[in-house]
Structure 1
Amino acid sequence: MQEDFLHYVWQHQYFDKAGLHTTGGEQITVLKPGMRNADAGPDFLNARLQLGEVEWNGAVEIHIRASDWHRHHHQHDPKYDQVVLHVVYEADQPVRRLDGSEVPALALAPRLAPELLRTYERLMAVPVLAEVLPCVPLLGGVPDITRISMAERALLERVEQKAAVVAELHQQLGQDWEATAYHALAAAFGFQKNSEPLARLAKALPLAIVRRHRHDARQLEALLFGQAGFLAETEETRTDAYLTGLRQEFEFLRHKYSLHGTALAAHEWNFLRMRPANFPPVRLAQLAAVLHARPALFDALLSAADVPTLLRFFQAPVAEYWRGHYRPGVPGKVPALGKSSMQVLITNVVVPLRVAYARHVGQPELVESAVALLSQLPAEHNSLTDAYAAQGFEHRTAADSQGLLALHRGYCAPRRCMQCAIGSRILQRNMAIR
């Protein structure tokens, strides 16, 4: 048993309240269970309880065993002096506040409905890697509206988490939205495996420098590939005239902007287990093309009315050399930035950027329009989303996909069933509270 189960039981008062009394024999009347506390301190705040003839306003602390109070060192923490009731599964010992007064305790073990416990234990008994959804054996009968609303809730949480990352980046960059768009876009062009080095490349090549040379595609490439560490002379590149020209251009610009010692090294990029079309030099060439063709990143990404407009934004032709080279000096026909990749960029850059901006300027209606973009994109298919779809979850658009991925990562994988509306519905349906 985990404490979050007892949190759930107390919050919803799912226990037998007939003849409710403390372990010391005082009668208990729960007038208000309190509000869950997400910060340090007792689990529930502002509870109202009547113990005997006295009404108390204070906090409620919850543990599996009463002795956990000492294991967690609450006896030395003044924040726990406000606790008026210690709710436990097993009252194995009394506990006291800093002043020595005993904290009244309520033992829930004899008051939980057996069916509620059995259902909870079934949820927790599924091996971690056995099922994407721990609740699969119990999922039948959960209404579609519950599944849809929970997936939508998880989607909004996921979008807000991504927007929070953008907002933090915005703060770090002196509240410059154009610079924020540049850094976010650069990192996203790494497509997971090379996101981190591309984020560092954006720091190594500030937007102020990019702005001065974005009109000249050759200079822009020289700066990006040079700072990325891809212009060092090798056996493969020594006789390559195009790269020699970029190298000479970069040497001049590196000296001009004092970029010595800030460049990445070629070995910091990931090529292993990747299709050539995803190789870092390919993505870097595509990023260079976008930066060259779209001089006002943030305004364009913010004002685009729909997905087709955003797709056109990313359709910037790369230099001819990079259409025929997967990496410097290595020839091969390279496809253009694919539609599916553009859709990933919209999901991971445009939507969070718009939500972060909406929160910053206090325009919540922009959040809704930003999230609505995901409904214009096709659903993503992978082993996780397909597993949910097989269980009857709606999966038609990218909004559905993002919601299902968020549901898995935020609730199913860490077994946060008690915080999930679906898990809550299963417990409500299968219990018989006395």
Structure 2
Amino acid sequence: MKEDFLHYIWQYKKFDFSNLTTVSGELLTIINCGNYLQQSGPDFFNAQIVLGNQKWAGNIEIHIKSSDWYLHHHEKDSNYENVILHVVWEHDTPVFRKDNSEIPVLELKNYTSKRDLENYQSLASPKSWIYCESQIATIDSFVFQNWQERLFVERLERKYIPIDQMLKETENNWEAVLFCMLAKNFGLNTNGETFFKIAKSIPFSIVRKESAEVANLESLLFGTADLFPVDVQDNYTKDLKTRFEYISQKYKLKKIAIEPVQFFKHRPDNFPTIRLAQLAMLYHKQQNLFSKVIVAKTAKELHQLFDITISDYWQTHYQFDRESPKKKKQFSKSFVDLLVINTIVPIQFAYAKSQGKEASESLLDLLREIAAEKNIIIEKFSNFGIKARNAFETQSLLQLKNEYCNQSKCLQCAIGIQLLKT
């Protein structure tokens, strides 16, 4: 038994309202169960009840046992002074306010139906992956689709937080924020944080000034990443190293401490050298990239922005001083899709929010154009009958798994609540 089940019972009034009495035998009438705000303080605010012949207005606190009041130290917290009713599953000790008046107690187990309890126990029983794995595919499609849209917006709101923080750090320089976000996602999971630190360490004004020559941008990125070999052999690498030393002195750039980039377990096209060279070429070719990203409304428009070819040297190399067969190494469709999902869409959402506009519907439509992501979480949902058709659905499923299933928030989830009703 968890408190969230009692919150569900109380919030949705899933108990017998007739002939309620407190544990002391006093007649109790519920006029208003209160507002479930899920913030610090009592569980339900602004409730109204009648005890005997006296009407009371105030807050409701809910616990498994009455003694949890003292276990949670509510007796020391002034926020709980206005509690008019203590709702518990099991009453095991009286609870008093600071003025020594006893708080009335309703023992909810006496008024909860056997069916609701059995449904909850079925939902909360251990499973191999998520609690509702054997039932999730039975959820009404209308309920599921509406919940997916809510999950999608929640995920955008979560991704907005680091963008908002970077905007404060850069004095609302949207181009600089986009550059850092793109760099992080160019690095994928393995090198993402390192690429992010590299991008943050280079003032975007320098990126803009040096973007006329792709070699200058490459030298900045490779030099900051400390990727130049100690014993340089070929002329191109020597030139990049010389350029980096000159640009560092010109702008008085400081060397930063970063984790070494990782090549291990990456396919050659995902080597950090290739991804940094692609990032350099992108900012060489696409001036004012942020403005172009913001006005793009379709997946096709966004893919066109990334339709670039890597510089000549990297068409015949994967690492410095090691020549390989020539390959243009253009962005794959799946890689651009990842950039759209994890960078472009969050940036568009954040910008619309800063302008006081609502963009979630148009972004939802955009991600419906993008192919479904492939990862272990999406594969698991598919095994249980939930097959994602596009990136909007995969993003909502990732939010569901990470923020609800993993947190055991079944009774804050539309799926869990629907299963309790059926």
Q: Is the 8 A contact 1:189 1:284 kept in 2?
A: yes
Q: Is the 8 A contact 1:154 1:410 kept in 2?
A: no
Q: Structure 2 CA distance, aligned partners of 1:84 and 1:329?
A: 76
2:17 matches 1:17: yes
2:172 matches 1:172: no
Q: Is the 8 A contact 1:148 1:394 kept in 2?
A: no
Q: Structure 2 CA distance, aligned partners of 1:282 and 1:402?
A: 27
Structure 2 residue aligned with 1:45: 45
Q: Spell out the pairing of 1:310-329 with structure 2 (5 A cutoff).
A: 310-329=302-321
Q: Structure 2 CA distance, aligned partners of 1:271 and 1:88?
A: 56
2:382 matches 1:385: no
Structure 2 length normalisation: TM-score?
0.95
Structure 2 residue aligned with 1:143: 140
Q: Is the 8 A contact 2:155 2:399 kept in 1?
A: yes
Deviations 1:198-222 (A, max 9, x none): 1111121110111110111111111
Deviation at 1:148, TM superposition (A): 1.7
Q: Spell out the pairing of 1:18-417 with structure 2 (5 A cutoff).
A: 18-127=18-127, 130-131=128-129, 133-139=130-136, 141-234=138-231, 238-262=232-256, 264=257, 267-333=259-325, 335-364=329-358, 366-393=359-386, 395-417=388-410
Aligned residues: 420
Q: Is the 8 A contact 2:134 2:384 kept in 1?
A: no
Q: Is the 8 A contact 1:178 1:298 kept in 2?
A: yes
Deviations 1:74-121 (A, max 9, x none): 000000101111111111101112222211111112222222222212
Structure 1 length normalisation: TM-score?
0.92
Deviations 1:297-340 (A, max 9, x none): 21010011311111011122211112222222333456322110
Which AA in structure 2 matches 1:59? Answer: N
Q: Structure 1 CA distance, aligned partners of 2:136 and 2:222?
A: 52
Q: Structure 1 CA distance, aligned partners of 2:279 and 2:204?
A: 13
- 3-state SS in 2 of match to 1:137: coil
Q: Structure 2 CA distance, aligned partners of 1:272 and 1:196?
A: 16
Q: CA RMSD in A?
A: 1.7
Structure with more contact order per residue of length (Cα contacts < 8 Å, sep ≥ 6): 1
Deviation at 1:140, TM superposition (A): 5.9
Poorly superposed stretches of 4+, deviation over 6 Å:
none
Structure 2 residue ranges without an equivalent (≥5): none
Which AA in structure 1 matches 2:292? Answer: A
Which AA in structure 1 matches 2:270? Answer: N
Change (3 A) 1:331 1:109: farther
Q: Which moved more, 1:419-428 or 1:378-387?
A: 378-387
Q: Structure 2 CA distance, aligned partners of 1:331 and 1:62?
A: 69
Deviations 1:120-159 (A, max 9, x none): 12222224xx12x421333464212122222222112112
Q: Structure 1 CA distance, aligned partners of 2:234 and 2:73?
A: 68
- 3-state SS in 1 of match to 2:189: coil
Q: Structure 2 CA distance, aligned partners of 1:232 and 1:257?
A: 23
Q: Is the 8 A contact 1:358 1:367 kept in 2?
A: no
Which AA in structure 1 matches 2:170? Answer: L
Q: Structure 2 CA distance, aligned partners of 1:29 and 1:342?
A: 59
Q: Is the 8 A contact 2:223 2:244 kept in 1?
A: yes
Q: Is the 8 A contact 1:77 1:98 kept in 2?
A: no
Change (3 A) 1:330 1:122: farther
Q: Is the 8 A contact 1:190 1:280 kept in 2?
A: yes
Q: Which moved more, 1:388-397 or 1:208-217?
A: 388-397
Q: Structure 1 CA distance, aligned partners of 2:356 and 2:137?
A: 41
Structure 2 residue aligned with 1:432: none
Which AA in structure 2 matches 1:136? Answer: E
Q: Structure 2 CA distance, aligned partners of 1:381 and 1:226?
A: 34
Q: Structure 1 CA distance, aligned partners of 2:254 and 2:79?
A: 53
